[in-house]
Amino acid sequence: MSGPGDIARRAAQAVAGFTSTRSKGPDAMFGGPDGPTHLVRAQAARIETADGQWLLDWTMALGAVALGYAHPRVQEAAARAVRDGAVGPLPHVLEVEVAERLCAVYPGAEQARFLKTGAEAVQAAVRIARVATRRERVVHAGYHGWLDGPTVGAGVPRGTERRWTAVPFDDIPALEAAVAGAEPPAAIVLEPVIERAPAMAWLEAARRLASESGAVLVFDEIKTAFRLAAGGAAQRYGVHPDLAVLGKALANGFPLAAVVGRADLMARVRETWISSTLATEFVALAAARAVLDVWSETDVAGHLARAGGLMRDALDGWAEPRPWTVCGVPEMWFLRFGDDARERRFLLDCARRGVLLKRGAYNFPSLAHDRPEVEETVRVIREALLEATP
């Protein structure tokens, strides 16, 4: 048995592409090798790496965790579900309860259907929209996972790209032009927040264009639901889609995603095939119920906005010359560097000093982040910058 020191070498040998979640690999984290590669434990806002270093983490499993790692309520609910068998030949009663509760929190939702990943949930929403409209083309803004369609390129059948028209975020003329294209769209699928809050006019235009063109408006709330609000951007901005996809923080890190929406549309699932063996395992459903309980008792959204705002303000107000621009919103913010080598050195320095920040993508505050974590991060960043100064 080899020790943790050579885990990176073993990963390079045994795991295709080093890790199964590409955004957690060394390139995605630090822009190349070096830096911690594996963890053994995650608790509250911290992780323990394979070589025993504890790091204060702002990446929060790519936003899959909003209550903090190993939140006691969630872990206890999941542990109980594990003891109860985890899976069985019939759906568990929790499927019904969590569906009812999601419909109660997500604006306009009347039914829910569960899946395991965000990409699958997007695929399911698009399939429902295609059945309902008898059309194929999708107009979309944002990232929606790795499946054919949202992703084009090597290994994706030629022609797929003709069915997916990408539009820039927050651009009404581009959205109008895309919807007016030769073939009317089945769905308009939008990430409602991309690097900044959307203009209300863009969300309203999407709502109007979908209704006028007969397309299904889908909000991809994989990152934003149970983060901006339990009911995501739809709740925060008051523009309601026909369908929405939820995931990530929905079960605080347990694998669960959902499509929610209008009952007449959701009923179309009977006309097509959307199903998977473990969609009804009930550990993740138990975790989601606990998440819903925590959200109903605690002002989670207020906390995330406050803690994220403190961090974002500290970085935004950092004395010049600062090597970054701060992007995003308080609940999901990131640093953009102009200089890759500088960014890489900075991130590695921060990690060495005990703080893990995401490279070129969102950092996510959680219930376990507060003023002390912000102060600790500011101190580490100051030291990292001082060290980098010649």
Distances (CA, A) of 177 to 65, 134, 137, 323: 37, 21, 14, 37
Tokens 């929790």 appear where?
Answer: 94
Task: Pick the binder of ligand PLP from 57, 95, 170, 191 (CB under 6 A).
Answer: 191
For ligand PLP, the closer CB: 219 or 346: 219
Task: Pick the binder of ligand PLP from 37, 59, 117, 252 (CB under 6 A).
Answer: 117
Among the residue ranges 80-88, 89-97, 216-224, 312-320, the one whose residues contact ligand PLP (CB under 6 A): 216-224
Task: Pick the binder of ligand PLP from 94, 222, 284, 310 (CB under 6 A).
Answer: 222
Cα–Cα distance measured from residue 138 to residue 330, given in angstroms and rounded to the nearest whole number: 30
Tokens of 177: 């032009």
Among the residue ranges 77-85, 107-115, 219-227, 275-283, the one whose residues contact ligand PLP (CB under 6 A): 219-227
Among the residue ranges 40-48, 136-144, 277-285, 345-353, the one whose residues contact ligand PLP (CB under 6 A): 136-144
DSSP letter for 197, please: P
Name the residue type at position 284. Answer: A
Q: Give just the sign of the alpha carbon dihedral 5, 19, 33, 69.
A: negative
Write the binding mask 361 to 380 for ligand PLP: x where contact by CB under 6 A, - elsewhere.
--------------------
Tokens of 53: 């270093």
Least distance between ligand PLP and beta carbon 150 (Å):
8
Query: For 23-92, where are the alpha helices, taking DSSP H only?
Result: 26-30, 60-63, 72-83
Name the residue type at position 210. Answer: A
Task: Pick the binder of ligand PLP from 26, 35, 107, 145 (CB under 6 A).
Answer: 145
Cα–Cα distance measured from residue 171 to residue 285, given in angstroms and rounded to the nearest whole number: 37
Residue 56 near residue 358 (C-beta atoms within 8 A): no
* C-alpha closest to that of 386 among 344, 345, 340, 333: 345
Q: How many residues bind ligand PLP (CB under 6 A)?
A: 14
Q: What share of the chain is helix, strand, coil (3-state, %, to 5)?
A: 45, 15, 40
Q: Does 119 bind ligand PLP (CB under 6 A)?
A: yes
Among the residue ranges 28-36, 118-126, 206-214, 345-353, the one whose residues contact ligand PLP (CB under 6 A): 118-126
Among the residue ranges 83-91, 220-228, 280-288, 343-351, the one whose residues contact ligand PLP (CB under 6 A): 220-228
Where in 230-249 is the site for ligand PLP (CB under 6 A)?
A: 247
Write the binding mask 59 to 78 for ligand PLP: x where contact by CB under 6 A, - elsewhere.
---x----------------
Q: Does 253 bind ligand PLP (CB under 6 A)?
A: no
Q: Does 220 bind ligand PLP (CB under 6 A)?
A: yes
For ligand PLP, the closer CB: 128 or 384: 128
Cα–Cα distance measured from residue 25 to residue 365, given in angstroms and rounded to the nearest whole number: 21
Where in 22-61 is the site for ligand PLP (CB under 6 A)?
A: none
Q: What is the length of the chain?
A: 390
Distances (CA, A) of 274 to 66, 115, 258: 28, 9, 12
Residues that bind ligand PLP (CB under 6 A): 62, 117-119, 122, 142-145, 191, 220, 222-223, 247
